[in-house]
Amino acid sequence: MAIAVKLDDLLHDRRMTLTELAERVEMTLANLSILKTGKARAIRFSTLEAICGALSCQPGDLLRFESEQAEREPIAR
């Protein structure tokens, strides 16, 4: 998928576990796991707001667009 979720990096930087985040944002661990592993098809604004609030970050820190073409041809030059 072209949108990469950087939840793992954010959690690592903040020394926080997924379980702790789940408790803070009042989401199930299963749903957060779906998001973390990039299996989610969509994210609600309310979820984004809660995660950004809990991790003190911007939506752009959590999500990043990665061109699929660039993924296929990593180092062409």
Partner 1 sequence: MSKPAASAALPIAHVALRVLIVLNWLAGAAVAAMLVAPLTGRWLLHAYHLSPSPDADRLVMACRAIAAVFLVAIPLHYVVLKRLLAIVETVRAGDPFVAANALHLQAIAWMLLALQLLSLVVGAIARAVSTPAHPLHLRAGFSISGWLAVLLTFLLARVFAEGALMRDDLEGTV
Q: Summarize as ranges the residues that interact with partner 1 (CB under 8 A).
A: 27, 31-32, 34-35, 39-44, 47
What stretch of H or E contains 3?
strand 3-5
Question: Which residue, chain included where needed, has tokens 């979720």?
Answer: 5
**Coil, strand or helix: which one is 70?**
helix
Q: Which is nearer to partner 1, 16 or 27 (CB)?
A: 27
Shorter beta-carbon distance to partner 1: residue 16 or 48: 48
Q: Toward partner 1, which CB reaches closer, 42 or 75?
A: 42
Taking the complex as a whole, the smallest distance from the CB of residue 52 to partner 1 amounts, in Å, to 14
Structure tokens at 40: 């989610």
